Amino acid sequence: MTARFDAYLFDLDGTIYLGDRLLPGAAETIAWLRAEGVPFRFLSNNATRSPGQYAEKLTALGIPTVPADVVNTVTVTTHWLRTNHPEAVVFPIAERPLIEAFEAAGIAMSEDPAEIDIVVASYDRGFDYRKLQIAFDAIWFHKRAFLIATNPDRYCPFPGGRGEPDCAAVVAAIEASTSTTCRAVLGKPDPAMAAAALAGIDVDPTRCVMVGDRLGTDIELAHRSGLQSALVLTGDSSRADVEAAAPDARPGLVLERLDELIA
Annotated binding site: 11, 13, 44-46, 188, 213
Answer yes or no: are the C-beta atoms of 45 and 150 closer than 8 Å. yes
- Three-state DSSP at 6 gives coil
Establish whether 13 is a catalytic residue.
Answer: yes
Answer yes or no: are the C-beta atoms of 188 and 218 closer than 8 Å. yes
State the CB neighbour count (10 A cutoff) for residue 211.
28
Dump strand ranges (E) for 122-214.
146-149, 155-157, 163-165, 184-185, 208-212
Structure-derived torsion over alpha carbons of residues 102, 104, 110, 111, reported in degrees to the nearest 10: 70
Q: Which residues are annotated as a binding site for substrate?
A: 44-46, 188
Answer yes or no: are the C-beta atoms of 145 and 118 closer than 8 Å. yes
Q: Dihedral sign, CA of 64, 67, 69, 70?
A: positive
The one catalytic residue in 13, 124, 153, 218 is 13
The one catalytic residue in 11, 218, 236, 259 is 11
Q: Which residues are annotated as a binding site for Mg(2+)?
A: 11, 13, 213
- Three-state DSSP at 37 gives coil
Distance of CA 244 to the CA centre of its chain: 24
What residues act catalytically? 11, 13
